[in-house]
């Protein structure tokens, strides 16, 4: 019953974040600025530390950080591949295809991260109820931001409201799917540590190379910079409170 309640809470938090982004799409640069800070903060203050914590028994810190670098570079290659795939035939049609592919790639990455969040919750409860509650609290603190980030990734790349809602639904359902999956098998700790590090690299790329430049494009730099710092600060405080 508790697991079902957690899955519902994660769904609601993620979906509410996405609806928030849709409602403020006319001021998307401000939301993008906040999201950029939040995404980078999730990588630095949540994903990478968790990767080190999960993997310290099996891997050196240097090898886990290498997985972070691999995630960053892999996402860069995938992003550039979408760029070249989008250039074919009519220039405008190719550009639209490129944007749609890039938005889908970003939203899919965020949804996979949410799936991993659910797996982490399930594995934590397999260890003990106390650990499960702490991990759940950490996940729920940034699920709202995950919803914002997923909606932003689709919207800023030319996606329609319907496309945004479809990706948002996938992202909101992903934690529940991840939790359910842990009833079928046990996730090896070494693999989970490496996966968290890999997603940490993904998030660093999304924030630094995508959301930050887009939020500052043709918009007041001071306000968007303040929103980026605010997004990072909010996520840092949320993780610190839960960890403390």
Total domains, the chain: 1
Task: State the average pLDDT over residues 126-144.
Answer: 71
- Closest by CA to 21, choosing from 156, 219, 139, is 156
**Res. 47: pLDDT tops 80:** yes
Token pair listed for 164: 């945004």
DSSP 188: P
pLDDT computed for residue 216 by the predictor: 67
Structural domain of 206: 2-243
Output the pTM of the full model.
Answer: 0.66
**Res. 166: pLDDT tops 80:** yes
Confidence class for position 26, pLDDT limits 50, 70, 90: low
Task: State the average pLDDT over residues 33-51.
Answer: 84
Task: State the average pLDDT over residues 175-193.
Answer: 83
Q: What is the mean pLDDT of the chain?
A: 78
- Which residues does 112 contact at the CB level (< 8 Å), separation at least 6? 174, 199
């Amino acid at each position: 019953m508790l697991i079902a309640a957690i899955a519902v809470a994660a769904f609601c938090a993620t979906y509410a974040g996405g609806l928030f982004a849709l409602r403020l799409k006319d001021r998307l640069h401000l939301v993008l600025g906040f999201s950029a800070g939040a995404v980078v903060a999730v990588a630095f203050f949540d994903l990478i530390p968790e990767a080190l914590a999960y993997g310290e028994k099996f891997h050196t810190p240097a090898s886990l950080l290498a997985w972070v670098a691999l995630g960053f570079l892999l996402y860069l290659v995938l992003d550039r591949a979408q760029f070249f795939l989008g250039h074919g035939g009519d220039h405008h049609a190719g550009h639209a295809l490129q944007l749609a592919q890039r938005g889908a790639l970003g939203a899919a990455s965020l949804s996979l991260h949410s799936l991993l969040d659910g797996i982490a919750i399930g594995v934590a409860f397999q260890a003990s109820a106390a650990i499960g509650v702490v991990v759940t609290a950490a996940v729920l603190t940034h699920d709202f931001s995950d919803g914002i980030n997923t909606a932003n990734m689709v919207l800023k790349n030319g996606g329609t409201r319907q496309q945004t809602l479809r990706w948002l639904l996938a992202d909101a359902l992903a934690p529940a799917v991840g939790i359910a999956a842990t009833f079928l098998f046990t996730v090896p700790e070494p693999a989970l540590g490496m996966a968290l590090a890999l997603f940490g690299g993904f998030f660093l790329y999304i924030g630094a190379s995508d959301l930050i430049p887009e939020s500052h494009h043709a918009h007041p730099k001071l306000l968007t910079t303040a929103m980026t710092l605010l997004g990072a600060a909010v996520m840092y405080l949320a993780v610190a409170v839960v960890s403390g």
